[in-house]
Amino acid sequence: MIAASALDYRELARRRLPRFLFDYIDGGSYSEVTLGRNLADLGQIALRQRVMRDVSDLDLSCELFGTRYALPVALAPIGLAGLNARRGERQAARAAETRGVPFTLSTVSACTIEEVASATTAPFWFQLYMIRDRGFMRDLMARAKSAGCVALVFTVDMPVPGSRYRDYHSGLAGAPGFTGSVRRAWQAALRPGWAWDVGLHGRPHSLGNVAPVLQDSSGIEDFFAWMRANFDPSVSWRDLDFIRAEWDGPLIIKGILDAEDAEQAVKLGADGIVVSNHGGRQLDGVPSTARALAPIVQSVAGRLTIMADGGVRSGLDVVRMLALGADAVLIGRAWAYALAARGQAGVDHVLSLIEAEMRVAMALTGTTSIAQITEDILVRESPA
C-alpha cells in the first residue's frame, strides 16, 4: 500500500501492529465521543478560498521559545511509542531533526532521555506528569536538562488515568497477569514483521525513564499498576512552584481546555500552553479542541504561546488550527501511525506530507506566511 496521507499510515499501522498496541494508539476513553468530536469538528472548519494573490513564495517557518523551526508543528509526546518500531523514539527524534521540528519525549517512553539524546543532535522537548514521588520528578527534570532538552511539557490533565475500554478488550490493561500476557503474545504472533523487528530485536522492552522505580518488575502490567498508584490526584496550581524551582527553561502546560485555566497558567508564569483533551483519552464528552480553542485565544492571546492538538491528521488541519488562533500545533497519532508502519522513514514522510498539504492550503487561501494565517481566512457563519 502506498501511503499518501496520515490516514493511509493508520491502515498500515493497523496491519503491522499487534492489536493491543494499535488500540492503545488509536483508541480513546469510554465511548470515544470526544475522540470523534476532535476529528469531526476540525474537519468542519471552512476556509475562504482566495485567488490571484501571488503565492509563489511561501514561508512556513515559525519561532517557538526562541528557536526557529521549519514548520509550526511539533511531535507530541506518545506513551509506549518505542514499542511501535525498533527503539521507536530514537527514530522519531531523528525524523523530527531532519524536518526541522521539535520532538517531545514522553515520560513513559521505551527509550530513555539519554538514549534519545544520543540519537540526535537537535535539542528536544521533554514531557512530564505530576507524580507522587517528587524526588523522582526532580531527577527526571535534572536528567532532561543534562541531556539538553530545551522545553518542559508539563501534562496536567491526567491526575488519574482515563478508562479506555479498548485497552481492556485487547489485554493491554485490566486482564490478570498471565491471561494478559498470553493474549498479547498471541496478538504479537499474528504480526510476524513486528515480532521480528520489535519483539525480538527491539529490546529492552522496559519503560526506560520509569524502569528505575519499577526495579525488577518491568512488564506492562507493572507499568500500568505503577501509573495508577503514582499519578498524583492532589495536584494543584501551587505545584507549579515546585516545577519552576527545578526547571529554568520554557515551561509548557499541556491539557488546558478552559479559558479560566488558561488564565491561571498565565498568572503562574507558564511560557506556553497546549489546548488539549489528551486526544480524547481522558474525560469523554468534553469539547473538541477545535471548539475549545477560540475562547482560550480570546482570553490569553499575546501573553504566552498557544499550541493545540487533537484530531490533526493533515497539513490542512494544521492550517485550520492556526486560523483558530493557535501559534503552533502538536501532532500525535499521525506520527505514531507512521512510525509503526515504516519507522523513521514513515515519520519523515508524514511530516513531508503535512508540509505539502500546508503549502496547498496556504496558496489557496492567499496566505504566504504563518503570521497571515488568522481568523480572516475562516468562512464566518451567516447570522440566523
Report the catalytic residues. Answer: 278
Q: State residue 3 phi and psi, 5-degree precision.
A: -85, 120
Instruction: Establish whether the linkage from the previous residue to 212 is cis, with ω within 30° of 0.
Output: no
Pairing of strands 251-256, 328-331: unpaired
Strand-by-strand arrangement of the 104-105 sheet: 73-75, 328-331, 305-308, 272-275, 251-256, 151-155, 125-129, 104-105
Close Cβ partners of 290 (under 8 Å, ≥ 6 residues apart)? 38, 41, 42, 45, 310, 311, 320, 321, 324
Dihedral sign of CA atoms 129, 131, 134, 136 in order: negative
CB count in 10 Å sphere of residue 46: 12
Q: State residue 74 phi and psi, 5-degree precision.
A: -130, 150
Dihedral sign of CA atoms 341, 343, 344, 345 in order: negative
Close Cβ partners of 363 (under 8 Å, ≥ 6 residues apart)? 55, 58
Close Cβ partners of 11 (under 8 Å, ≥ 6 residues apart)? 1
Pairing of strands 151-155, 125-129: parallel
Whole-number Å distance between alpha carbons of 75 and 6 = 14
